[in-house]
Structure 1
Amino acid sequence: MAPTLTTPRLVLRPWRASDREGLWRMQADARTMEFLLPVPDRAASDAVADRAEAHFARHGFGLWVVEVPGATDFAGYTGLVHVPYQEHFTPAVEIGWRFHPAHWGHGYATEAAQAALAYGFGPLGLAEIVAITVPANLRSRAVMERLGMARVEGGDFDLPTTPQGHPLRRQVLYRLRRDPNRWTGFAR
């Protein structure tokens, strides 16, 4: 069973069937997908939720749905996943987030990611967590830096799951190693 994490303003919880509509609305929004490959239809969007649920079932962690109590049951998702391809930094666990634009600018991505990092470095005992994005995605890069992640010099790479020649293929790599003085507790 996937754990539920809480922060002062957010609940990070397992997926429900009702989340699929919010996921589709978020992924159908061009602003959300500006730096991501498009999700062509509802079936492909549902497959994202299926993969998230399967990752939890297999590993005990994954992408949590982010709720903002009193505002929305589905603001987006944040979590930790095993990188599913081979690259110079794998095997690795990646932190990621995706929020509907209606919930941008409130610090939710950073707050939710801090909870996920604390869980990864705490109960999961991970030594390192990575994050990737396209160089132009300054919003996500700012979140990575607020989390204390550092860009890996010489770590840029071409994402093997993105077609050759596609403008989103090039990625920057950020990394954070466990600091026992910082990640001693975790949100519950």
Structure 2
Amino acid sequence: MEILTDRLRLRKWTNRDKPAFAAIQADPRVMEYFPATLTRKESDAVVERFKKHHKEHGFGYFAAERRTDKQLLGFIGLSRQEYPAFFTPCVDIGWMLHPDVWGQGLAAEGARACLEHAFGALGLDAVRAVTVHRNMPSIRVMHQLGMAYEGAFIHPDFADRHDQQPCLVYVRRAPAEGQP
């Protein structure tokens, strides 16, 4: 299973992706809006969780690679979320990309393709996105994707990071039949 866009190949994870992804997750710029930077061992465990999610659900956070040189850029994709919140359980769309490609529209490009997959092949009626209230770049991507603000909540994964609370949730509902 893979999704192709003009510039990206979204595909399943392999063990070869682990070193490059660990470097991305060790970068404090990338992890500014996440609970903490990750060690190599912690990052490898994340890749294993992504692989398990794909196997169990048939979708997940994809490894995002640039089509021209096959360089791993991070992840873009869909994931089931079941932590306690007013909108869960749900399917969430998320992204994390290397700082060298920020501002190039890749998150929106890949996420648009994932939304098409979610509403088409997967038949989902809604997809949500969550971010901390200060993450303006991701909020801009959510707006570009046509997502609407749904509310704020206290994310259990950020319990000890008061600077990251509240988190915001946005939603995009499946288009009505015949609508783009």
Same fold (TM over 0.5): yes
Alignment partner, residue 173 of structure 1 = 169
Shift of residue 72, structure 1, vs aligned partner: 4.2
Shift of residue 70, structure 1, vs aligned partner: 2.1
Return the TM-score normalized by structure 2. 0.95
Structure of higher RCO (CA pairs closer than 8 Å, 6+ residues apart): 1
Structure 2, gaps ≥5 residues long: none
| Alignment coverage as a number of residue pairs | 179
On the 8 A contact 2:147/2:170 being kept in 1, the answer is yes
Secondary structure of the residue aligned to 1:61 is coil
Q: Tell me the percent identity.
A: 38
Alignment partner, residue 5 of structure 2 = 7
Alignment partner, residue 129 of structure 1 = 127
The 1:66–1:109 alpha-carbon spacing in structure 2 relative to 1, beyond 3 Å, is same
Counterpart AA for 2:36: P
Secondary structure of the residue aligned to 1:156 is strand
For 1:144 and 1:27, locate their aligned partners in 2 and report how far apart those are by CA, in whole Å.
22
What is the Cα-based RMSD across aligned positions, in Å?
1.3
On the 8 A contact 1:39/1:45 being kept in 2, the answer is no
For 1:93-116, what per-residue CA distance to the aligned partner results, in whole angstroms no more than 9, with x for missing partners? 000000010111111000000011
Alignment partner, residue 186 of structure 1 = none
Counterpart AA for 2:139: R
Structure 1, gaps ≥5 residues long: 184-188
On the 8 A contact 2:119/2:125 being kept in 1, the answer is yes
Secondary structure of the residue aligned to 2:103 is coil
The 1:87–1:65 alpha-carbon spacing in structure 2 relative to 1, beyond 3 Å, is same
